Amino acid sequence: MYGTSSEMTGNAEIKILKNYDNNKENGKFGWISIFEGLKLHLYCLNIIMDSSQLLIPIIYIQDSNSLLELNTITFTGIKLSPSTEAKGIIHINYDNSQLIAQSCIFSNIQISSKGGNAIRILNNGSQPIISNIKGCQFNNISSIGDSNGRGGSAIYMENKHGSILIIEESCKFQQCIIEKGNGGAIYIEIDFTSQFEFKINNTIIQECQTKSDTSKNVPPTGYGGGIFLTGSGDYDISSKRLDLKGMKIYGNSADKSG
């Protein structure tokens, strides 16, 4: 009854009931999958789960020309334990897709085993991915870096082929922790030769941590308490495609540096 006098107050709720049964996830990419150019818009939802551990993402984008809009969505108490490779609670695995997240909350999230992120954006094609994160909060997220030491417990993105990531409108990252990786809250890998764009405006990164893998030296880990930015190619400063002047950093720590 949205938009009428009978509209409900507060958020509706979706609870994932896995009941410790891995068969419910066998052969599936995500609990919600977006494919073949599907446009999915979710509004005013609290997404929670039972005491099980998930093996697959909650939302998975697997084809190009797809769009995911999340508005006033809360992910709370999610436990993700990927068994084969790093995954995201929200996992985008293809190009020419778009993510819009506004006024969302990711809170009390634990990611173990092969590691992963609250939002994981991979670009396995040749077209850009457009991502806008507005007014979102990422609180108390703990994860493990992947096999290459790539972290970012809140956001991981491969920014290439002219992809865009904009984080703005009072986003906040607090107590986001990565073990055995780099980038406590955010990890961004950029192709600087492309028409990329990565901007952070009016955003706080606070009390986030990066912890090194003391069992080995390669790949290097323990860098970038709040954010870790890496990439390939030469960056043209005059392009102004990289703009972090709206980022406010407070009380973050890294075992090695940054």
CA distance 120 to 78: 15
Q: What is the pLDDT of residue 62?
A: 82
Output the CA–CA distances (angstroms, integers) from residue 40 to 7, 37, 120, in the order listed.
21, 10, 17
Question: Apex CA 44: angle with CA 14 and CA 117, to 5°?
Answer: 70
Average pLDDT over the chain, rounded to an integer: 93
Q: Give burial (CB, 10 Å; 0-12/13-18/19+) of 97.
A: buried
pLDDT for 28-61, tens place per residue? 999 999 887 889 999 999 999 999 999 999 999 9
Question: Apex CA 78: angle with CA 75 and CA 79, to 5°?
Answer: 160
Res. 161 pLDDT band, cuts 50 70 90: confident
Count of beta carbons in the 10 Å neighbourhood of residue 143: 28
Q: What is the CA radius of gyration of the chain?
A: 18
How many helices (H) and strands (E) in the chain? 0, 23
Res. 188 pLDDT band, cuts 50 70 90: very high
Res. 2 pLDDT band, cuts 50 70 90: low
Q: What is the pLDDT of residue 251?
A: 96
Q: What is the pLDDT of residue 1?
A: 55
pLDDT for 207-236, tens place per residue? 999 999 999 888 999 999 999 999 999 999
Q: What is the pLDDT of residue 244?
A: 93
The pLDDT of residue 5 is above 80: no
Q: What is the pLDDT of residue 207?
A: 98
Res. 254 pLDDT band, cuts 50 70 90: very high
Contact 195, 163 (CB under 8 A): no
CA 137 to chain centre: 12
The pLDDT of residue 147 is above 60: yes
CA distance 226 to 256: 13
Q: Among the ranges 6-10, 95-99, 175-179, 188-192, which has the highest mean pLDDT value?
A: 175-179
Output the CA–CA distances (angstroms, integers) from residue 80 to 28, 87, 112, 127, 220, in the order listed.
15, 8, 6, 29, 25
Average pLDDT, integer, range 143-153: 94
Q: What is the pLDDT of residue 69?
A: 96
pLDDT for 92-141, tens place per residue? 987 778 999 999 999 999 999 999 999 999 987 788 899 999 999 999 99
